[in-house]
Amino acid sequence: MSQRVRVTRVSVKGASPFIGLSDNGDSGSERLYSRDPDELMRWLCGAWRTRFNMHRSRRNRYDKDGNLVPIGGEPDLRTPKQSRLTQSWTAAVPTAVLESPDRLERQDWFAAVKRRETLKQQGKDPGRMPRFRSRKHSPDIFACWYNNGRNARFQRVGRRSGIVFITGQNPGQYTASGKRESFVIRIHVRLSEPVCAYTSVRVNWDRRELVFVNDPQAITRQPTHKAVGIDRGVAVAVATSDGAMLRLPKNDLKRADRLVRMHQRAQARAIKASGKTTKDYYRGQMSKRFRAHARAISRLSAKASRTVADRQQKWSTGLVRDYDAIFIEDLNIAGMTSKTRPVPNPLRPGQYLPNGQARKRGLNRVMRQASLSRLETLIRYKADRAGVLVAQVPAPYTSQRCNACGHIAKDNRESQAVFSCINCGHTANADTNAARNILDAGASAHPEITHGTQQGRTCPGDGGTSDDWNRAIGEGRSPDETRTSAA
């Protein structure tokens, strides 16, 4: 887990940090000091990137003949201490900043290696290996270890504001007195909630953002002796066997979708008016307005995806906290979002009949947004750490089987929302019925876990209604109740 906060301003206390020699070590070079916030932050980001690329230069790749060669030609093997001595602009950079690329570069590299392997296995384009961070194209970022309070300490100064203190020293060779001089860079941030225990801070200066990075903590929970089946869908994102209906904020997402399409149409008009092909237009000079539309689109999409992610985090935490066992249907999500098969028109060769692709395209968009597989990933991740069982059960007929008598028929499903058994007359919400079937299938497959939990199962209607659930999740109970305040 991590917490993102906004940087409001930066100030310095103590000595002016030494940011390097004017021409790096030649005779007559001037010592540069700065108290300018932007200059100081860019200085830290630059030093961080330099160290990052030093580590990156030690990575190898296979060349045409199958030999392992360093990716950048010559590997740079300098230690932080050596780089301080040879690169004057890193001389006063705090150790907690200068050492952090060591681990972060490794994480970045091996995450990419793993991702490419997975994509290759799935027969997809693995993309290229990560490269060096570029001064021009990579965002200006740096990280600083907290190291049990040795640096990047946080202090709350107001109800909604706090300061992160990054301390460092100008080495004696670069001070007037010849003695080391300390400085404190104070990053002022705006908060909306208490800061949790963290292990490092990461600053994105381009976006004026600071992230407190936390080690993932397990959800603290007591055994509840309850099991749950959950049915994931599009109309209702998650239906539980207890009758809860968890929905995404549909109107917000629809509005974002509408605005995105509006901007896309405007972009299409701009391309058409230019008389170029789409490809040529992107290659050439894009108009100012066109780029503004592109920024608006990415802002809206990011907002929508954060909305979905936030809900899913809260739902998965709630489920893991409230149940000892969670059963999920085994969905073929890739199949559900793929295109429909084309249907050739037998009367007119070369033409095709309507096959529902237009309708399915809308659905695909919603499905992608709902990102069903991510919810499962989140549940598994949190359940793993909390000792909760998560198991998949086969999906077929979970939506057509009557939970009361077991009768399976397509006609059982009266509409999208209502289930009505043609055999015994049992009626229920269709999604709740499916979730109960999933729970029953899971319970019979895992008798050791669910022994005695069936009695604890509450009926839909008495008590645990969807509104209660949504409210309980939406308010107060944040994703981590286990958080401890670091301030």
Q: Pick the piece of the chain touching Zn ion (CB under 5 A) from 147-155, 299-307, 381-389, 402-410.
A: 402-410
Judged by CB under 5 A, the residue of 60, 118, 423, 482 near Zn ion is 423
Phi, psi angle pair for 324, to nearest 5°: -80, -25
> Measured between alpha carbons, how far is 118 from 123 in angstroms, rounded to an integer?
9
Q: Does 408 bind Zn ion (CB under 5 A)?
A: no
Judged by CB under 5 A, the residue of 380, 407, 413, 483 near Zn ion is 407
Q: Does 413 bind Zn ion (CB under 5 A)?
A: no
> Measured between alpha carbons, how far is 3 from 195 in angstroms, rounded to an integer?
7
Cβ distance to Zn ion smaller for residue 119 or 459:
459
Q: How distant is the alpha carbon of residue 391 from its chain centre?
A: 24
Q: To the nearest whole angstrom, how small is the minimum distance from the Cβ of residue 226 to Zn ion?
A: 25
Cβ distance to Zn ion smaller for residue 412 or 453:
412
Q: Pick the piece of the chain touching Zn ion (CB under 5 A) from 32-40, 116-124, 288-296, 406-414.
A: 406-414
Roughly how many angstroms between the first and final C-alpha of the chain, as a whole number? 17
Q: Pick the piece of the chain touching Zn ion (CB under 5 A) from 25-33, 71-79, 289-297, 420-428.
A: 420-428
Q: To the nearest whole angstrom, how small is the minimum distance from the Cβ of residue 427 to Zn ion?
A: 9
Q: Pick the piece of the chain touching Zn ion (CB under 5 A) from 179-187, 257-265, 307-315, 426-434.
A: 426-434
Cβ distance to Zn ion smaller for residue 12 or 404:
404
Cβ distance to Zn ion smaller for residue 225 or 426:
426
Q: Do the beta carbons of residue 202 and residue 7 sit within 8 Å?
A: no
Q: Does 422 bind Zn ion (CB under 5 A)?
A: no
Chain position carrying tokens 């050492």: 99
Judged by CB under 5 A, the residue of 213, 404, 449, 472 near Zn ion is 404
Q: To the nearest whole angstrom, how small is the minimum distance from the Cβ of residue 430 to Zn ion?
A: 13
Cβ distance to Zn ion smaller for residue 145 or 419:
419
Which ranges of 371-474 does DSSP label H, i.e. alpha helix?
A: 372-386, 430-445, 447-450, 466-474
As to burial, measured by CB atoms within 10 angstroms (0-12 exposed, 13-18 middle, 19+ buried), residue 258 is exposed
- Give SS3 for 209: strand
Judged by CB under 5 A, the residue of 225, 426, 446, 483 near Zn ion is 426
Q: Does 40 bind Zn ion (CB under 5 A)?
A: no
CB-CB neighbours of 400 under 10 Å: 18
Cβ distance to Zn ion smaller for residue 151 or 403:
403
Q: Which of 437, 453, 470, 457 is nearest to 238 (CA)?
A: 470
What are the distances in angstroms from CA 343 to CA 259, 339, 424? 33, 12, 39
Considering CB under 5 A, how many residues would be counted as binding Zn ion?
A: 8
Judged by CB under 5 A, the residue of 292, 424, 459, 487 near Zn ion is 424
Cβ distance to Zn ion smaller for residue 360 or 426:
426
Q: Which of 200, 23, 190, 192 is nearest to 94 (CA)?
A: 200
* Single-letter amino acid code for the residue at 119: L
> Measured between alpha carbons, how far is 129 from 433 in angstroms, rounded to an integer?
47
Residues 322-381 within binding reach of Zn ion (CB under 5 A): none
Judged by CB under 5 A, the residue of 69, 302, 405, 417 near Zn ion is 405
Cβ distance to Zn ion smaller for residue 421 or 435:
421
CB-CB neighbours of 289 under 10 Å: 11
Q: Pick the piece of the chain touching Zn ion (CB under 5 A) from 79-87, 232-240, 273-281, 417-425.
A: 417-425
Q: Does 246 bind Zn ion (CB under 5 A)?
A: no
> Measured between alpha carbons, how far is 226 from 456 in angstroms, rounded to an integer?
6
The number of residues in the chain equals 487
CB-CB neighbours of 285 under 10 Å: 8
Q: Does 402 bind Zn ion (CB under 5 A)?
A: yes
Q: Pick the piece of the chain touching Zn ion (CB under 5 A) from 22-30, 177-185, 297-305, 421-429.
A: 421-429
Enumerate binding residues for Zn ion (CB under 5 A).
Answer: 402, 404-405, 407, 421, 423-424, 426
